[in-house]
Structure 1
Amino acid sequence: MTTPLPEQLALEIEDLIRTMPGPRDFSANPDTCIPWLGRASAAMRAWDSAQSLIHFEPLVRTVSTGGNFDFSGIRRNILVQLHQAQSDLRLATTGPLSVGIDSGRVFDYFDEVRKLIESAKLDLLFVDPYLDAEFVSRYLPHVPNGTVVRLLARERIASLKPAVMAFSQQANKVIEVRSAPGFHDRYVLVDGMACFQSGASFKDGAKKTPTTLTQITDAFAVVRSTYEDLWAQGTPV
């Protein structure tokens, strides 16, 4: 069997995360998950055969047997390992995600953020003091089913809150909004496992000035802890 190049394997694992079956599929529709599980097993063996044999394959076997019980913990463990492989391959090939976007390239900015949103399977935390109704209509339709959305905002709550309530009711998605003082940067944290900083407010990216999307790696733990603490102390709205 031909060993895939690291760049090819990184793309395969990125697609596996994006197409991962939903939370209920593992218990309610196990047969539909089998092709995905087969792909995931092959990709993880190609990445690290020893780690796959010890840590990943037992999870796949458990899910494959089916049964009427909650697979959410196993699904989360599978996702953690896929994210680990993705990060390892990205650092070994292209390095952390860093995208520069010219002024006026609004779709390019939107498309990069959309990809991050669609990669989330458990939780999305957006940190941006200027989140508003426009942000909701532009980005939240791309949130995968079963993913909890948390929005830490401040300046435009009066616009943000009714849009969130209407969208949440229509789309049947869990969306929480909190307000907090003392923050100015813009981040999105994906599944608590990856963090990306935006050089502009998410709703305004590349509209009038150049901007960037940059993955936080060395300072990831500190950034995650800082904004999870701020979220915990924030005021629900």
Structure 2
Amino acid sequence: MYDPTVARLTYRGLLGRRRALILGALPVLLIVISAAVRGFTGADDQVAADVLGGFALATMVPIIGVIAGTGAIGPEIDDGSVVYLLAKPVKRPTIIFTKLIVAVAVTMVFSAVPTFLAGLILNGNGQQVAVAYTVAALVASIAYAALFLLLGTITRHAVVFGLVYALVWEALFGTLVSGARTLSVQQWSLAVAQKVSGGDLVTSDVSLTTGTVLLVVVTVAATWFAGQKLRTLTLAGEE
């Protein structure tokens, strides 16, 4: 189910100079903001939770997921180079699974690691805030990568739709509209983080069971549908 050659090509495409700069921009901004906030306010647990929840988890993680998830396959479909990949003796579900693993790994590295570092800067992991939001970033990375990988297989405008979801649904409606929070990867991951923190600073509108089940269902379903969509792509000369 995992092909090293496909993985290597996908990593190379995702971590090219320009895309790597884009992926690194938000994590650097998070660290700078965290250092500035710590300098102005000192170590404050509530402020740390606000910064990590409001910027890191609500904005940075989904945007990085968009870049990594759609970038794992979208450009190959857009420019037609995917036909060379499909011509290889590799099963198409294997291609999708391998690209998902790469997208998840990239999303985790560029979102969870800076989230943890920012948490340490903000309050030194007081009340397990840094660890809780890092765990939330890790589990959210899996679901986001799967969702946006699926988008990359079904539309040429995957980045646009992904950013709309990340910035409008997750960051705006997911924050302001209570009903929308139930259908939010952010809230599902926060349910896991709330369990890790064990306090009142990290909260979610869904239960741990609901959040965990929805994270798994969405990840599996998105990966399966992406595999099915890739099956429908045919090479020139195929019947």
More contact order relative to length (CA 8 Å, sep ≥ 6):
2
TM-score, normalised to structure 1, is 0.28
TM-score, normalised to structure 2, is 0.28
Structure with bigger strand share is 1
